[in-house]
Amino acid sequence: MRYTAKEGFRHDDTPRLGVLIANLGTPDAPTTPALRKYLAQFLADPRVIELPRIVWRAILHGIVLRTRPKKSAAAYREVWSEDGSPLLVTGLAQTRGIGERLAERLEGPVAVELAMRYGSPSMAEGLQKLRDQGAERLVVLPMYPQYSGSTTASTFDALADELKQWRWIPELRFIGQYHDDERYIRCLADSIREHWQAHGRGEKLLFSFHGTPKRYLLNGDPYHCQCLKTARLVAEELELTRDDWMVSFQSRFGNEEWLKPYTDETITEFARSGMKTLDVICPGFSADCLETLEEIEGENAEYFEENGGESLRYIRCLNDRSDHLDMLTDLLLEHVQGWPEAGGPPRGLRDQQATRDRALALGAEN
C-alpha cells in the first residue's frame, strides 16, 4: 500500500494529543562502526552540510567516514555511562517528566514520545508510536532553544519525510524556537546562581554555543542572532555588566569560517591574559552531550589550565531539572492553545457515540 495507517485502526478509537520531543540523536555505542553509521546519516543531511552533493559525497565517503569515526568514538567513550549516551539518557528522562506533567495538566488524553533526528529512537519510530496511541493532533518540540536550519529545520524535514507516507495526517504544530522565552531565561539564570552559590563565582561568564558555518548566517539563518539574544537576556536577568560575560561558538567542523569568536581560542586567550577562574555555560543545548561534557568540561578545561588558568567551572545544561521540565510543559501547553478543545480530542470526536455514528455512516466494519 502506498500510504500507511495506524496498526489495527478502528473507527471508534479514542483520539489523543501526541507530543513528539525531538533531539539530534547519538550513536548506538561508542565504537568506530557505530560512529560510522551515525556520522554517515548525520553528515549526509543537506541541512547540515550545504555543499553541492557530488562534491560533498566524495569528501564524506573518501575522507571523513574513514578518519572521523575512530576519533569520535574515543571522545564518546569519555562521556558514555552505564545507561548509554548522555543525550539519550537525558532525553528519555525529559520525555518522561514532560509526559507526567502534561497528563496532570491536560483534560484530555495525551501521548508523549522521544524521537531522534539521527540514530534511534528514529523520527519514524516516535511518530508511529504516537499514531498507534491515537494521536490525531501532534505538537513537535525540537529541543533546540535557538532556531537553526541545521537542527530545527532538519527535524522538520524528517517529520515531513515520515508524514508524507501517512494516509491520515495529524493536525500539526511545530515549535520553532524558545530562545527568548522568559521562563527559559529564568531557568538559565537560576541554574547559574545556584552554581555560583555552590562553587563560587568565576572572573567571567562565557556563553558557549554550538557554531555553524558563517555562510549560513549570511544566507539568512537566525541562529546567531538568537544565541546573542539568549545570552544578553540571561546577563540582564543576572544584572551583569558588559565586562562580566561574553559569547563564543564551539565545535567547529571542516575548513570554512564558522561563527566567531571560537570557544577554544577565547578560553586560551583568557588564560594567557591572566584569568584564573572562568564559568562556562552552554545554553544552546537542552541536554548535556558530547559537545558539552567532552568538549567543554573536558578538552577546553584542559586548554584553560595548560595556558595558566586555575579552574574552568562548567555549568551543566538544564537537562531534567524540574524547573526546565515545567517550563517546557508550559511552552507545549501554550502551543496547543487555540486548537478547538485545546489539548483534548478533536471536536466532534469527543463522545464515543458520535464516533460510532460516523463509523456506521461510513459503512465501516469496525
Among 90, 94, 128, 151, binds ligand L6N33NVT (CB under 6 A): 151
Asked whether 246 and 275 are in contact (CB, 8 A), the reply is no
* d(C-alpha 55, C-alpha 254), whole Å: 14
CB of 86 to ligand L6N33NVT, least distance (A): 6
* d(C-alpha 18, C-alpha 33), whole Å: 34
Name residue 52's amino acid: P
Number of residues that bind ligand L6N33NVT (CB under 6 A): 21
- 295 interacts with Fe ion by CB under 5 A: yes
Is 113 annotated as ligand-binding? Answer: no
136 vs 291, beta carbon nearer Fe ion: 291
Phi/psi for 157 (5° steps) reads -60, -45
Compute and round to an integer the Cα radius of gyration of the chain.
22
Q: What share of the chain is helix, strand, coil (3-state, %, to 5)?
A: 50, 15, 35
CB of 253 to Fe ion, least distance (A): 7
Is 291 annotated as ligand-binding? Answer: yes
Nearest to 175 by CA among 128, 204, 141: 141
- Residue 148 interacts with, from Fe ion, ligand L6N33NVT, none (CB under 5-8 Å by kind): ligand L6N33NVT
* d(C-alpha 80, C-alpha 34), whole Å: 13
Q: At a CB cut-off of 8 Å and minimum separation 6, what does 364 contact?
A: 11
Among 32, 41, 45, 68, binds ligand L6N33NVT (CB under 6 A): 68
- Write the binding mask 206 to 245 for Fe ion: x where contact by CB under 5 A, - elsewhere: ----------------------------------------
In Å, what is the CA distance from 20 to each residue of 116, 185, 319?
Answer: 10, 23, 17
* d(C-alpha 151, C-alpha 143), whole Å: 9
- Residue 19 interacts with, from ligand L6N33NVT, Fe ion, none (CB under 5-8 Å by kind): none
Asked whether 226 and 249 are in contact (CB, 8 A), the reply is no
- 251 interacts with Fe ion by CB under 5 A: yes
- 48 interacts with ligand L6N33NVT by CB under 6 A: yes
- Residue 143 interacts with, from ligand L6N33NVT, Fe ion, none (CB under 5-8 Å by kind): none
162 vs 291, beta carbon nearer ligand L6N33NVT: 291
- Write the binding mask 73 to 102 for ligand L6N33NVT: x where contact by CB under 6 A, - elsewhere: ------------x-x---------------
Among 128, 133, 212, 355, binds ligand L6N33NVT (CB under 6 A): 212
DSSP-derived pairing of the beta strands 135-142 and 245-250: unpaired
207 vs 285, beta carbon nearer ligand L6N33NVT: 285
- 289 interacts with ligand L6N33NVT by CB under 6 A: yes
* Burial class (CB within 10 angstroms; exposed 0-12, middle 13-18, buried 19+) of 31: middle
- Where is 139: in which H helix or E strand? strand 135-142
- 207 interacts with ligand L6N33NVT by CB under 6 A: no
CB of 81 to ligand L6N33NVT, least distance (A): 12
* Burial class (CB within 10 angstroms; exposed 0-12, middle 13-18, buried 19+) of 198: exposed
Q: Which grid cell is 28?
A: 548506538
- 24 interacts with ligand L6N33NVT by CB under 6 A: yes
181 vs 291, beta carbon nearer Fe ion: 291
Number of residues that bind Fe ion (CB under 5 A): 3
Contacts to Fe ion by CB under 5 A: 251, 291, 295
As annotated, the binding site for Fe(2+) includes 210, 291
Contacts with ligand L6N33NVT by CB under 6 A lie at 24, 26, 48, 68, 72, 85, 87, 144, 148, 150-151, 210, 212-213, 251, 253, 284-285, 289-291
